[in-house]
Structure 1
Amino acid sequence: MDMTTQHITLGAINMEAENPVELAAFWGTVTSAVPSVGGGTVYLPPAGPGGFAMFFRPMAGPRLERQAAHLDLTVPWGSRQAEVDRLLSLGATYKWDVLDEVPHVQWTTLADPEGNLFCVAEHPPAS
């Protein structure tokens, strides 16, 4: 068995949506990517190097009461509030801030238009 270390990358984040086209449009605006609709699904390509892709498909069943995973988006130090304000203007909903819990990160938790939680985090510069 070859034990060579391989570089793993994120291919895409897959999400079920009540309205895949509308949810992909929201995330396309968030990430500056252009959605590609195919049948009942939508692919959102990475918006450049270091970006991530997303894939939206119709809901297969009822939405779970508890969200087991969420996206943590990172912005440069000092720009979190401006980015949160931008995302709110696009249709995100404010949930809460965590500003003093840990010294190496501050974040705001938001929900996308279908209620999926995500965070916008900033890390202070290294001393």
Structure 2
Amino acid sequence: MTLSLHMVTVDSTDPMPLAQWWAEQLGGQIEAEMGGWYIIVGLPGIAQKVSFQKVDETTSGKNRLHLDLSTQDLEGDTKRLLDAGAGLVQEHHMEQFSWNVFTDPDGNQFCVAQA
């Protein structure tokens, strides 16, 4: 028997605003909201979803699991994400590969790479 990825869940002390922020950034929409403690965001074109669950306190330090996203316009989407409230942690440039590390409004890190 094999496992299949169903959903990636992000902990947050205030999950609704974070779910709304990610839905806007990924072109998704909130599909379900369970009493303010669990919100599911559906993403266009893929079966997997991202959810946001309420926790009593945030985890300090770098998150061990993060989203890796891709774009055709790294410079443009970097500006758009910063304007939307993301934080820029670091820019990386290798021979044929560039990516930036960001934080979302809750401080969770994620990466965006040039496709």
Q: Same fold (TM over 0.5)?
A: yes
Q: Check 1:105–1:51 CA distance in 2 against 1; reply closer, same or farther (3 A cut).
A: farther
TM-score (normalizing by structure 2)? 0.86
SS at match of 2:11: strand
2-structure distance, mates of 1:86, 1:10 = 29
Pairing 1:64-75 to 2, within 5 Å after superposition: 64-75=60-71
Aligned counterpart, 2:53: 57
Q: Which has the higher strand share?
A: 2
Does residue 102 of structure 2 align to residue 110 of structure 1? yes
**Deviation for aligned residue 1:51:** 6.6
Aligned counterpart, 1:90: 84
**Deviation for aligned residue 1:65:** 2.1
Does residue 22 of structure 2 align to residue 30 of structure 1? no
1:14 pairs with 9, 16, 40, which one?
9
Aligned counterpart, 1:45: 42
What percent identity do the matched residue pairs reach? 22
Q: Does structure 1 conserve the Cα–Cα contact (< 8 Å) formed by 2:13 and 2:56? A: no
Aligned counterpart, 2:114: 122
Q: Does structure 2 conserve the Cα–Cα contact (< 8 Å) formed by 1:73 and 1:119? A: yes
Q: What letter matches 1:82 in structure 2?
A: G
> Which of these two proteins has the greater Rg computed from alpha carbons?
1
Q: Does structure 2 conserve the Cα–Cα contact (< 8 Å) formed by 1:16 and 1:56? A: yes
CA-based RMSD: 1.9
TM-score (normalizing by structure 1)? 0.78
2-structure distance, mates of 1:118, 1:112 = 7
Q: Check 1:62–1:30 CA distance in 2 against 1; reply closer, same or farther (3 A cut).
A: closer
Q: Does structure 2 conserve the Cα–Cα contact (< 8 Å) formed by 1:16 and 1:60? A: no
SS at match of 1:65: coil
Q: Deviations over 1:25-79 (max 9, x none)?
A: 11010111111322121000122x2474111111154413232121110112xx1
